Amino acid sequence: MSTIMIVGATRGIGLELTKQYANEGNQVIACARDTANASLLNEVASGSENIKIEQLDIADAGSIESASSRIGEEAIDSVIIVAGWVGGMPDNQTIDNIDIDEWHNTLNINTIGPLLVAKAFKSNLAASGNGNLMILSSQLAASTWPMGGMYIYSTTKAAVSKVGQILALDWAEDPIIVSIMHPGWVQTDMGGPTAEITAEESASGIRNVLSGLTKEDSGNFYKWNGDIHPW
Ligand X SMILES: NC(=O)c1ccc[n+]([C@@H]2O[C@H](COP(=O)([O-])OP(=O)(O)OC[C@H]3O[C@@H](n4cnc5c(N)ncnc54)[C@H](OP(=O)(O)O)[C@@H]3O)[C@@H](O)[C@H]2O)c1
In the complex, which residues of this chain contact ligand X (CB under 6 A)?
A: 8, 10-14, 32-34, 57-59, 82-85, 109, 136, 138, 182-183, 185-186, 188-191, 195
Residue (19 or 182) nearer to ligand X, CB: 182
Find all residues with CB under 8 Å of 128, minimum gap 6, and list them. 3, 75, 76, 77, 175
- Residue 21 buriedness (CB in 10 A; 0-12 / 13-18 / 19+): buried
- C-alpha 203, offset from chain centre: 11
- What separation, in Å, do the N-terminal and C-terminal C-alpha atoms of the chain show? 33
Least distance between ligand X and beta carbon 34 (Å): 5
**CA–CA separation, 197 vs 188, rounded Å?**
10
Residue (35 or 130) nearer to ligand X, CB: 35
Least distance between ligand X and beta carbon 161 (Å): 11
Least distance between ligand X and beta carbon 96 (Å): 24
Least distance between ligand X and beta carbon 120 (Å): 13
Residue (125 or 142) nearer to ligand X, CB: 142
Residue (14 or 131) nearer to ligand X, CB: 14
Note whether 53 and 41 are within 8 A (CB).
yes
Least distance between ligand X and beta carbon 25 (Å): 23
Residue (53 or 214) nearer to ligand X, CB: 53
Note whether 183 and 80 are within 8 A (CB).
no
